[in-house]
Structure 1
Amino acid sequence: MSDFRASTAASASGMQAQANRLRHVSENIANVDTPGYRRKIVSFDQVLDGGRATGQVETGPLKLDQGALPQIYDPSHPMANETGYYDGSNVDLVVEIADAREAQRSYEANLKMFDQARQMKRSLLDLLRR
């Protein structure tokens, strides 16, 4: 039974990590027009148990994209400097939509693995009851 527990734990951790990733992608999309906003980048780390890989993942430390912020010319903007420019956001909607789709598909794959392990466990218990 521990193999079933390990496989469901790995799938559940993958779903949690992808849900966190999708939350940060949503924050990036919501702030696409916020002046000075830097894109949040999510990384994943393996979960170790006594130095041994468990097959589970977790979100690592959140990083901010250090790419250059675009300079936007709008002298009427309240954040514009004396030359009429202000820092825009370095969020690219195309990249964020692609990341959102990848996170969604990874979540769905983990969900299928979770359901598959649960069905196998149920079938094994049914066989043992006979």
Structure 2
Amino acid sequence: MAYDISLTGIRAQMARLEVASNNIANVETPGYSFYRALLATQRGTGGVQVADIEQPRPASTPEAPADVELPAELVEAVAAQRAFEANVRMIEVQGTAQDFFLNRLRPM
């Protein structure tokens, strides 16, 4: 169960990072308006999922400058990376704890 929760977190953060990366890649694309990955709790599991990828402001005219704030997108990308790493670390810790207890239960 705990592995499953961490895996949902990894998947959600990958999606979040992908959206931020796409926004960064389009920072100079005229008329582009940024997107945001919205995360939500999975019912019954305690995990997380991508509820929606929304565009908070509609795309402007093709001639308008891109509606992307580079510093905000970099912060979003770093936050997603750190959350991803935290979930990976949680899986590692769960594996270490499981190995420890299985070794303690093994007859000598």
Q: TM > 0.5 between the two?
A: yes
| Structure 1 residues not aligned, in runs of 5+ | 1-5, 72-78, 80-85
Quote the Cα distance in structure 1 between the aligned partners of 2:96 and 2:8.
19
Match of 1:65 in 2: 56
Structure 1 segments of 4+ aligned residues over 6 angstroms from their partners:
none
Shift of 1:115: 0.7
TM-score (norm 1): 0.76
Shift of 1:65: 2.4
Q: Percentage identity across aligned positions?
A: 32
Quote the Cα distance in structure 2 between the aligned partners of 1:60 and 1:68.
21
RMSD: 1.7
Match of 1:115 in 2: 92
- Which of 3, 19, 24 is the aligned partner of 2:14? 19
Quote the Cα distance in structure 2 between the aligned partners of 1:47 and 1:32.
32
How many positions carry a matched residue from both structures? 107
DSSP-derived class of the 1:12 partner:
helix
- Which of 59, 76, 83 is the aligned partner of 1:99? 76
- Which of 32, 37, 46 is the aligned partner of 2:41? 46
Shift of 1:55: 1.5
| Structure 2 residues not aligned, in runs of 5+ | none
Q: Give the conservation status (yes or no) of the 8 Å contact 2:32–2:59.
A: no
Quote the Cα distance in structure 2 between the aligned partners of 1:12 and 1:129.
28
Shift of 1:60: 1.2
